[in-house]
Amino acid sequence: MKISLFGAKGMLGSDLVNLAPKETRILSHDLETNITNLNTVEGALKADRPDGVINAVAFTNVDGAEKEPGEAFLVNGKGPEHLAVVCAELDIPLIQISTDFVFDGNRESLYTEEDRPTPLSKYGESKLAGETSARRWVKHYILRTSSLYGTGRDNHAARVLKAIKNKEKINVATDLFCSPTFTGDLARWIYQLIEKKPPYGTYHVCHTGFCSRYDFAARICELKNVDPSTILNPITMESLHLPARRPLHACLSMNKWEKQVGALLSWQDGLENYLSAL
């Protein structure tokens, strides 16, 4: 099987490359293949002739999207449109990575794939535009995930580890809840999806359970045998005065994934897998 992977050098992309099954050949594309250019996408996929496409390209700077909405919508919305158009032309299934930020997080119950997205930020709006673009081609999987972290890139888990190493305090929100997801596990689950070939559509896939950013950081401290109070300064999201609003409780239901694809791991298990990978 041949898979064309766009965003191969990103945090998730790198794990998709490194963890690909032996029978899967990854055709890697990164900055040299700009998905915002339709001709470039068409040339790449006609040369590859893959069995499937994974789009792991994203404008991920949530606050930056408020200042540069045009760039965010170009990468997160228009790019997937180009991929969908060419995938439809060549009859290639498309996997589009999305986010829990398409929801407003104004409720405590879990969001299902049938719930209506109501993003709070330009970033969330741009990712929702990417979902709409992917749906232009019937053979699509839209995978909404949550709060990704992994090896080799700056992320919320890495910042906690850096603070522990440097013995410095960092601010961590107590009122932002999510399901932190290790990209190494997510990559394995994506390959499981490709193998199982469930019905096309939208799926929520991240680690099960949810926690506050503070609880997640405190668990890292505990696993590193460090007193959380010496590293973590509990704060509220409002006190940070960030340009973009975040959904405070956009926690996802994974019932559809576990029924159609397979069992998932808890966020605690994912964190231990991350530390082992380091």
Task: Quick: pLDDT tens for 249-263.
Answer: 999 999 999 999 999
Contact indicator for 176, 215 with CB cutoff of 8 Å: no
140 is written with which tokens?
């699509």
Question: Which domain covers residue 53, as residue numbers?
Answer: 2-153+179-208+252-265
The confidence score (pLDDT) of residue 232 equals: 98
- Tally of domains in the chain: 1
Tokens 């972290």 -> residue = 149
Phi, psi (rounded to 5 degrees) for 268? -65, -40
25-29/2-6 β-pairing: parallel
Examine residue 60 and state whether it is found in any structural domain, yes or no. Answer: yes
Domain-embedded: residue 165: no
- For residue 34, is it within any domain? yes
CATH of the domain at 187: 3.40.50.720
Phi and psi at residue 148, to the nearest 5°? -70, 145
Confidence of residue 3 (pLDDT cuts 50, 70, 90): very high
Is 234 within a domain?
no
Q: Identify whether 40 is part of a domain.
A: yes
* Confidence check: pLDDT of 32 > 90: no
CA distances from 185 to 67, 82, 275 (A): 32, 28, 12
Domain contains 98: yes
Does 170 reside within a domain? no
pTM of whole model > 0.85?
Answer: yes
What's the residue count for the chain?
Answer: 278
Look at residue 33 in the predicted model and tell me its pLDDT. Answer: 79
Residue 225 lies in a domain: no
Residue 28, classed as helix, strand or coil, is strand
* Helices 213-223 and 267-277: angle between axes, nearest 10 degrees: 50
Task: Name the pLDDT band for 180 (thresholds 50, 70, 90).
Answer: very high
Q: CA 148, 138, 37: angle at the middle one, nearest 5?
A: 65
Average pLDDT over residues 162-166: 97
